[in-house]
């Protein structure tokens, strides 16, 4: 038993001699700096993006042409055709080619970039035709042109309806 006691005593003394308050503070400082850098990691930024500015507080009737996201739309509202403002009706395919608008959300007063994705693969929905055209530009600015069938890159080029997806906050133009 004495041998074990002596061994522990020697270890404890050695530890006390070779560690100082300063080195302990250095270690603690390093830990705190490391912990504060965690939110900068891509995984943390991705997680906050999912609950961040791309999911604004909003209200309104998505089946009404007056709904704030439709400020630059021209087409049948997918939310009247079995889909939603964010999704295509069953049996149709969302076009990867879009046109872009900037609309003011009345709830928070901020401007958001909206991607208008046509839904394709069925004949024209025929309900809730909505034409608002804010910021619509001729075809030479194709990213801002709404009066075009954007069913490109899809299995079928037949237009059915248009969705309106919030993709992010717009830069302030001051």
State in angstroms the smallest separation of the CB of 134 from ligand ABN.
15
Q: How many residues bind ligand ABN (CB under 6 A)?
A: 10
The residue annotated as part of the active site, out of 61, 66, 74, 118, is: 118
Contact 155, 115 (CB under 8 A): no
**Considering the rule CB under 6 A, would residue 70 count as an interface residue with ligand ABN?**
no
The residue within the footprint of ligand ABN, chosen from 97, 148, 165, 170 (CB under 6 A), is: 148
93 binds ligand ABN (CB under 6 A): no
**CA distance readout (Å), 17 to 14, 24, 87, 162:** 5, 13, 67, 73
The alpha carbon of 156 is separated from its chain's Cα centroid by a whole number of angstroms, namely 27
Q: Which of 61, 99, 143, 150 is catalytic?
A: 99
Buried b or exposed e, range 108-122, using 16+ CB within 10 angstroms: eeebbbbbbbbbbbb
Point out which span in 16-24, 29-37, 102-110, 142-150 binds ligand ABN (CB under 6 A): 142-150
Name the site residues for ligand ABN (rule: CB under 6 A).
Answer: 74-75, 118, 146-150, 159, 162
């Amino acid at each position: 038993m004495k041998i074990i006691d002596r061994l522990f005593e020697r270890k404890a003394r050695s530890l006390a001699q070779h560690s100082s308050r300063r080195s302990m503070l250095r270690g603690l400082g390093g830990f705190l700096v490391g912990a504060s850098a965690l939110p900068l990691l891509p995984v943390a930024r991705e997680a906050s993006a999912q609950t961040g500015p791309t999911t604004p507080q909003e209200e309104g009737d998505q089946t009404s042409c007056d709904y704030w996201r439709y400020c630059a739309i021209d087409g049948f509202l997918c939310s009247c055709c079995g889909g939603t403002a964010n999704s295509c009706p069953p049996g149709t395919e969302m076009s990867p080619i879009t046109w872009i608008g900037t609309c003011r959300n009345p709830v928070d007063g901020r401007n958001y970039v909206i991607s208008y994705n046509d839904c394709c693969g069925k004949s024209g929905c025929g309900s809730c035709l909505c034409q608002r055209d804010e910021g619509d530009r001729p075809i030479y600015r194709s990213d801002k042109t709404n009066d075009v069938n954007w069913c490109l890159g899809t299995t079928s080029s037949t237009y059915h309806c248009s969705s309106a997806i919030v993709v992010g906050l717009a830069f302030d133009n001051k």
